[in-house]
Chains A and B, each alone.
Chain A
Amino acid sequence: MKHRFGVFTLAAALLAVACSSNNNKNSNNAAATKPPSAASSTQAAAPRPAGASPTAANASPTGTPRPTVAAAPGAVKISFWHAFSGTNGDALNALVDKYNSSQQKVHVDAVFQGSYDDDINKLRQALQTKTTPDLVQIYDIGTRFMVDSKAVTPMQTFVDKDKFDLSTFEPNVLGYYKVGTTLYSMPWATSNPILYYNKDMFKAAGLDPDKPPKTFEEVADAAKKLTKGDVKGIALPIDDWYMEQSLATQGAYFADPTNGRGDKPADKAAFNGPEGVAFLTWWANMVKDGTAANLGRNSSDTKAAFFAGKIAMVVDSTAALRQVIDSTQGKFQVGTTFYPRPANNPKAAGTIIGGNSLWIMKDHPQAEQDAAWDFIKWLMQPEQMAFFHVSTGYYPPNKAAYDVQADKDWLAKYPQFQTAIDQLHASPLNQATQGGLVGVFVQARQDNQSAIESVFAGQATPQQALDKAAGTVTGEIQQYNQAVGH
């Protein structure tokens, strides 16, 4: 009898356990543990906020103000969702505090929402429950989705109203965030991928540390010379961002027609052309012959191996530069150079703008939207731009930042910061370097990363893997277009 009862309660408990699995998908809390985000989110080097408290999800649109600066009475309070932690998060918080204490009219509550993916997912949930923040930082590839959501006030509205001067802004950066002729969001932290290399290892291997490899062939050759014992020549995180960038540096599109940047929205994946195959073949061959390490998808793992001297070269976003400088201080000399590309590269090609931009949500009172715009204008001032540049590695969208003395001094001391800027200025503005504009980028990246992994595992050739992924992504794009009425 006793046992029977025990079994019964056990059954009830099991039922509860079984049911609770259904729980996951309705609550945001399931997103508390997150996959690492794009390469463009290299700030995720800090351990991910696993098991973040449920209340930290989107329970409150305003979140908890950090106690550093109190809001002045009568100040307009605005909430600001972001995805920065670690080194880059510290810089963001310092700026918010400085803004809050610099004036009495507006008080910004910065709320960290996890990775870029978490951030946009929480916003998606907030759109349904009408609990959006006033201001939100969204990664580059979320642009199409944000525009289609029709839940934002285009930045152009504020720019026009205030006659805000954009003439000192980088044309490529504005080009990325313009859809048609409308600037939808304000570019803030902008990046591109660069090659980091260990100068000490270059010397030891008989390579010239002042003449880093630039082409696919040169990098593969250097990787071979640098591979010794358990030290590998190079590593790239398995992140689709690097393929997207490689397509642009070869003048190819991610999606057709014209990357979705022309009159018609993209309706077909195009990354399986010869350029995508060339990139993946170059990478896979190095993995195959053991000169490149396959350390998985997390850029924190490739960086950790680089810091530990287990790999001589690593490809990462320029946004990781400050962290790289700080982490290798006193260990070895770090050099930076352009993102590798094929030797016979077309002229009209370059890197895409990575990083993120700031969006003002439209379902808020005008006073709050104006307050958010005031904060954005302040962030765009050269002084703030320069501070953010040297604190992170993201280059400033506003070129006026380079005239600030602190920025000049920093660039003189750490010339590594110049690489991303030069690479940006070497990139022409065209539909390839504007980057793909599709609504399903989050899924597409997952599909492509699986494709890359299947090549490394010898399960498919680069062409087969990319053809299969392109088929899947095309289906996803068409489904999305149908749903939003494109």
Chain B
Amino acid sequence: MSNIATVAAPERPAVSAALRRRISYAAQAVTGYVFLAPSLLVFAVFIFYPLIKSIYLGFYVSNPFGNGQVYVGADQYRRVLSSDQFHTALVTTALFALYTVVGGVVLGLLLALLANARLKGIFIFRTIFSSTIATSVAVASLMWILLFNPSIGVLNWALSLLHVARINWLTSPHWALFSVSIATIWLQLGFNTIVLLAGLQGIPDELYESARVDGARPLRQFFTITLPMLSPTLFFVIVIASIRAFESFGQIDLLTQGGPNNATFTLVYAIYRNAFFNFGATGVASAQAVVLFVIILLFTAIQFGVAERKVFYG
């Protein structure tokens, strides 16, 4: 890259070294932006523009036909933040995130540890464990609808063999969020397992060898070697899983439509309902979307700020 700078000012000894360095930096920056341009363009069209438009629409109230907009300013945000719908949706979303992140990461780690064993044919298990990564939300949801079906589903059939009372997985407000979480965990397990397995395989064998020489048992090895060495990967998986939880839509829409009695009415689902079903609530939906954006942004920042200090980068 420095040769660009030398082309720009080849035979001018009068130019000071400091200026040269500045030109060199500028040229480097220009080159960098040229390389970034395609992705910036894509981001601008598909992300920055809708984001700005959402913020803008959040200040307006429109009629049921989507026109005749009236400016209401920050009032809309104040109303959204103080509404019952927003509060219950926020609690539901937080619970959903808690279930799916904890469940998904713990199970993913367990599967990754199993898949890390040195056995003949282990690749078969690795493929099985990670297979859900290739399953779309729609397909997975249709599958779980059948499994959860109270009268013809496999889960209740299995319970009946154990003489346990049937569970209304998706139609009971007490179970629905839990059931949707199970489907979500299953869906994310493949990704979590692959990433954690890759992390496990990056840990040098010598560490375990010397630990064994020192007489450390497997449990001790796990807590003093595996976990610290895996912490960057775990951190990554937790961040991604949290954000996915906040954004989950397909499985909620297909399994419960936010019901029963709003038990699975998450923030994203509230946005969807307001934008497409509550004629005239486009502004409310926009404001909620902006709030969700800020929440995810803050959440991500906190995770980077706090969790990163505890991460052992080796």
- A: residues with CB less than 8 A from B are 3, 7, 10-11, 14-27, 30-31, 33-36, 47-48, 50-51, 117, 121, 124-125, 127-128, 145, 148-149, 151, 230, 232, 238, 293-297, 301, 304-305, 308, 310-311, 439-440, 442-443, 446, 449-451, 453-454, 456-457, 459, 476, 479-480, 483-484
Contact = CB atoms under 8 A, between A and B. Distances in A.
Given A51-B136, A295-B151, A453-B260, A145 B64 contact: yes
B64 A457 contact: no
B50 interface: yes
Given A443-B277, A449-B259, A456-B260, A50 B63 contact: no
A12 B53 CA distance: 21
Given A14-B240, A21-B292, A21-B293, 6 more contacts: A21-B296, A128-B67, A294-B168, A442-B278, A480-B280, A484-B63
A18 B297 contact: yes
A296 B142 contact: no
A450 B262 contact: yes
B79 interface: no
Contact of A484 (B64, B247, B253, B257): B64
Given A21-B268, A50-B250, A16 B149 contact: no
A215 to B, nearest CB: 26
A24 B249 contact: yes
Contacts of A21: 246-247, 268, 289, 292-293, 296
B171 interface: yes
Contacts of A148: 64-65
25 contacts: A11-B300, A18-B243, A18-B297, A19-B51, A20-B247, A21-B289, A22-B50, A22-B293, A24-B271, A25-B286, A26-B53, A51-B137, A51-B250, A148-B65, A230-B160, A295-B150, A301-B149, A308-B151, A308-B152, A442-B278, A450-B259, A450-B260, A456-B171, A457-B261, A483-B280
Given A19-B51, A230-B151, A450-B262, A149 B271 contact: no
Contacts of A151: 65
B254 A440 contact: no
Contacts of A484: 63-64
B276 A31 contact: yes
A19 B47 contact: yes
A301 B160 CA distance: 20
A24 B313 CA distance: 36
Given A18-B296, A48-B254, A30 B51 contact: no
A453 B173 contact: yes
Contacts of B151: 230, 232, 293, 295, 305, 308, 310-311
Nearest to A302: B151
The 8 tightest CB contacts between A and B, nearest first, are A50-B138, A453-B260, A310-B151, A453-B261, A25-B275, A18-B296, A35-B257, A454-B261
Contacts of B47: 16, 19-20, 23
A297 B259 contact: yes
A27 B300 CA distance: 25
B293 A18 contact: yes
A304 B173 contact: no
Contacts of A14: 239-240, 243, 300
B275 A50 contact: no
B86 interface: no
Contacts of B48: 19
B313 A3 contact: yes
B273 interface: yes
B118 to A, nearest CB: 28
Nearest to B260: A453
Nearest to A50: B138
A328 to B, nearest CB: 15
Q: Which of B63, B250, B286 has the most CB of A within 10 A?
A: B63
B7 to A, nearest CB: 28
B66 A22 contact: no
Q: Which of A22, A31, A36, A121 has the most CB of B within 10 A?
A: A22
B277 A304 contact: no
B66 A443 contact: no
Given A125-B66, A294-B171, A484-B63, A22 B289 contact: yes
Contacts of A19: 47-48, 50-51, 293
A17 B136 CA distance: 18
A267 B58 CA distance: 27
B272 A453 contact: no
A124 B279 contact: yes
Nearest to B246: A21
Contacts of A295: 149-151, 171
A199 B257 CA distance: 33
Contacts of A238: 171, 259-260
Contact of B272 (A30, A297, A442, A450): A30
Nearest to A10: B236
A47 B66 contact: no
Nearest to B62: A483
Contacts of B92: none
A189 B5 CA distance: 74
A446 B171 contact: no
Interface in B129-169: 136-138, 141-142, 145, 149-152, 160, 168
A446 B168 CA distance: 20
A33 B250 contact: yes
Interface in B29-87: 43, 46-48, 50-51, 53-54, 63-67
B50 A124 contact: no
Given A294-B171, A297-B259, A33 B138 contact: yes
Contacts of B209: none
A480 B300 contact: no
A381 B142 CA distance: 40
A295 to B, nearest CB: 6
B123 interface: no
A479 B280 contact: yes
Nearest to A231: B151
Contacts of A22: 50-51, 54, 289-290, 292-293
A128 B63 contact: no
Q: Which of B138, B260, B280 has the most CB of A within 10 A?
A: B260
Contacts of A310: 151-152
Given A11-B300, A456-B260, A23 B64 contact: no
B172 interface: yes
Contacts of B51: 19, 22
A297 B257 contact: yes
B280 A149 contact: no
Nearest to B273: A446
A80 to B, nearest CB: 21
Given A25-B272, A230-B160, A296-B260, A33 B279 contact: no
Contacts of A128: 65-67
